[in-house]
Structure 1
Amino acid sequence: MGIFGAIGIAQTGLTLHRTWLDAVSDNLANLSTVRPTSEDAFRARYVVAQETPGAEGGVQVAGVQLGDATGRLVYEPDNPLADETGYVRYPDIDMSSQMAQLIMAQRGYQANAAVVDRAKETYQAALQIGRS
């Protein structure tokens, strides 16, 4: 690991947690998206993380998995998208689970940002010692 290794590793964490925050935010924003029963429901996005290959360390986004397209059928006969039996399709997304994931992703992002700040302060202190 080079002199700026801590910042590089924390940067990979920031990128991963930012992607996770974006996915959870998208899921929460589409929690009430209604579709006709003839269409697929909104598919939740789940970020898959993996260790960065090589000796440098860090993490990366391995991909994004999509949730179930079946969703859940809800009886809403007054909805303009309802079929002839009165049903519409909603995504099968659990709000409490998404909120928990949002908190975890936010805390992970904050922790990696703090590592960048501390490493920067340490490097600046080392430069000041070198100037003295």
Structure 2
Amino acid sequence: MFVLPEIDKSHGAVPQPGSIVFARVTKVMARTASADIVCVDSKSVREKFTGIIRQQDVRATEIDKVDMHLSFRPGDIIRALVLSLGDARAYYLSTAKNELGVVSAESAAGGTMVPISWTEMQCPLTGQVEPRKVAKVEA
């Protein structure tokens, strides 16, 4: 008789619908952005999980005006909500709340960018302003 092995819970966190995750953006396309999930509810993951942010899940308003390339760049660290398990390859993520979006970004000059509004971040080294879907920082 075959017995299923007990699942070892020490394999790190696994994203679930409703979880808040941190992820590194890997690719930005016209209608979606891909990201590697690195933390789930402040616990690090041990295996690779991929998330997809669809154009309609970037923000809550003016969904038809969302430009993915103006919201995210590869390398950005984002805070996102897991919407669903998505397809076999990736979880569907959303940044459609004020506290969700880009939390850390690096400028072309190599500086860590500073949020100056909910749609822009600025390089402290060059003063260059770049568009992003910025996460509102809890005060």
Q: TM-score interval w.r.t. the shorter chain?
A: under 0.3
Give 1 or 2: higher helix fraction: 1
Q: Which has the higher contact order (CA 8 A, sep 6+)?
A: 1
Give 1 or 2: higher strand fraction: 2
Q: Scaled by the length of structure 1, what TM-score is found?
A: 0.26
Q: Scaled by the length of structure 2, what TM-score is found?
A: 0.25
